[in-house]
């Protein structure tokens, strides 16, 4: 959480220095996810139809962390905020993605 607060503060400072206007309304989830995708391409995964795993960049295989609300009913596509390796590779904080919303 601290990292997100630091990023937010840094982005506000850069926007202010550039003289750009700060949005008066919060962004929609879709807009945020689209912006994050540009820097987190290795965190995108497509669900394997036969397993509870996702295949990501460079054929990395990860599962949605069991504490997630999407663990029992995973979406076809996801982009996780973090990949954590313990006994296996886990995707943490996964939103469900609609491929039509980001595959441009």
* Domains held by the chain: number: 1
> What's the confidence (pLDDT) of residue 99?
60
> What's the confidence (pLDDT) of residue 32?
81
88 falls within a domain: yes
Domain region containing 70? 27-102
31 falls within a domain: yes
Q: Measure the CA angle with vertex 25, ends 79 and 39; round to 5°.
A: 25
pTM of the full predicted structure? 0.66
Query: Which residues is 96 bridged to in the sheet?
Result: 78
78 falls within a domain: yes
Distance CA 47, CA 49 (A): 6
> What's the confidence (pLDDT) of residue 42?
87
> What's the confidence (pLDDT) of residue 29?
81
Distance CA 53, CA 68 (A): 14
Task: Return the structure tokens found at 61.
Answer: 């295989």
21 falls within a domain: no
Chunk the chain into consecutive blocks of 10 residues (it has 104) and report each block's average pLDDT, rounded to whole numbers: 82 94 88 81 91 92 92 90 92 73 55
6 falls within a domain: no
Task: Return the structure tokens found at 16.
Answer: 């202010």
- Tell me if residue 11 falls in helix, strand or coil: helix
14 falls within a domain: no
């Amino acid at each position: 959480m601290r990292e997100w607060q630091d990023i937010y503060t840094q982005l506000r400072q850069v926007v202010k220095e550039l003289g750009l206007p700060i949005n008066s309304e919060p962004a929609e989830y879709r807009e945020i996810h689209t912006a994050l995708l540009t820097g987190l391409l290795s965190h995108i995964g497509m669900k394997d139809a036969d397993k509870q795993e996702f295949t990501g960049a460079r054929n990395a295989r990860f599962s949605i962390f069991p504490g997630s609300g999407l663990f029992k009913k995973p979406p076809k596509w996801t982009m996780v905020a973090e990949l954590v390796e313990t006994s296996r590779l886990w995707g943490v904080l996964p939103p469900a993605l609609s491929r039509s919303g980001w595959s441009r």
